[in-house]
Amino acid sequence: MNAPIPAAALTDPTVEPAPDAMLTVRIRRGDGFQAFTVARRSAQTILDVVTEIQREQDPTLAYRFACRVGMCGSCAMMVNGRPRWTCRTRVAAVAEEDGLTLEPLRNLPVVKDLAVDMEPFFEKWTAAHGAFEPGDAPPEDFAVVAPDSPERRAVDAGIECINCGVCYAACDVVAWNPDYLGPAALNRAWTLVNDVRDQGQAARLKAVSGDAGCQSCHTHMSCTEHCPKALAPTFAIAGLKRATARSALKRFGSRHFRRSA
Amino acid sequence: MSAGTQTALPRRGAFRAARPRAGFAAALLHRLSGVALALFLPMHFIALGTALQGADRLESFLGLTHNGFVRTAEWGLVSALALHMVLGLRVLALEWFVTRERTALVVSVCVAAGLAVGLLFLLGAA
């Protein structure tokens, strides 16, 4: 989904539609759906379709986008029941016999039509201690982190997240428990748990455990399957499960098996 | 400028819901088989407990289990046990060894393996 469209694909019949081909697009607006008809075009993306509807047919349609090239993470929507970046999803790849169904991202409050309020998503980022904690007396010199150290590799695996909310919309646990921190926030926490410079690890591990934290993950793999950046929040959450378990065992051990002086 | 027409809920792409995925099915089966096993455990302990009161009590209790319903339930339990084990091994492999999987394929193989054990049990009992 993320790969650039090769030149050869432009002659592909699935990319180059038949002349006069039309597409039925059902868009959720409030409680109901509204149907629009737009012309199929060459290498057309879902975002192209929504933009065409808003500019040519109904200027009151609300949606969100910025970069159009898969960098900003603001155009995600539910396309035929799956969360996707609309700018990097071609109509030809996802249209079904009866067209397209577009809905706002799941698990987030709707502002209007296809635009959702991302506030809860970013609040959880903060709740999971998603900010670097330098400590009270950070060292004055640069820290040396070997690029091939296991910790640095673990950080690399999850650092490319751009907060598009696709994993959050894909997650069933968020749908069941609105307090659940969600894959993106936990993935961010895991990158910081592996940051050897960070001084806030105990508080972070406490924040990501418990009923709303990593232990609630059911390993459905939805976040990992849908992530447009091909990240694997499931494995980040599994890492947090191991880290929180290890820290709990250490605390238990030091409390009950401490060597008496 | 024409506004689109109001329309009923689409046939697919359910209301504000992601489509079910293989990983969801795996977690559901894992949970249901686990609950079935948990419900069975007290029965199992009762059966074993009767042995403490002598061979006759155990035999008479086991006699109750020879009807068709209990036989069918036994097949279900063996399948549930096998299913719970393979799905649990899948989760352990994912979480401890961080292996990228083809979820639909792996879950299908797990379910097939669980049901195959149930089938073997049926063949053995026949």
pLDDT tens readout for residues A128-176 = 999 999 999 888 899 899 999 999 999 999 999 999 999 999 999 999 9
Asked if the Cβ–Cβ distance from B19 to A106 is below 8 Å, we say no
Residues belonging to chain B: 126
pLDDT tens per residue, range B66-114? 777 887 888 889 999 999 999 999 999 988 888 777 888 889 999 999 9
Using the Cβ of A167 and the Cβ atoms of chain B, whether some distance falls under 8 Å is answered with: no
Share of chain A above pLDDT 70, in %: 93
With a cut of 50, say whether residue B13 has pLDDT above it: no
pLDDT (tens digit, 0 to 9) for every residue of chain A, 261 residues total?
Answer: 455 555 555 555 556 777 778 999 999 998 899 999 999 998 999 999 999 999 999 999 999 999 999 999 999 999 998 999 999 999 999 998 878 999 999 999 999 999 999 999 999 999 999 999 999 988 889 989 999 999 999 999 999 999 999 999 999 999 999 999 999 999 999 999 999 999 999 999 999 998 899 999 999 999 999 999 999 999 999 999 999 999 999 989 988 887 655
Give how far Cα A239 sits from Cα of A109, A162, A173, A217, B96, Å.
30, 20, 18, 12, 8
CB-nearest partner of A220 from B14, B23, B98 = B23
CB-nearest partner of A238 from B3, B8, B94 = B94
Give how far Cα A152 sits from Cα of A90, A157, A195, A233, Å.
35, 9, 7, 16
Residues belonging to chain A: 261
Å from A61 to nearest chain B CA?
10
A35 neighbourhood in chain B, CB within 8 Å: 4-7
Q: Which tokens belong to B34?
A: 């686990």
Domains and CATH numbers, chain A: 7-116 (3.10.20.30), 119-256 (1.10.1060.10)
Q: Which tokens belong to B105?
A: 């394929």
Asked if the Cβ–Cβ distance from A103 to B13 is below 8 Å, we say yes
B115 close to B79: Cβ distance less than 8 angstroms = yes
Domains and CATH numbers, chain B: 22-125 (1.20.1300.10)
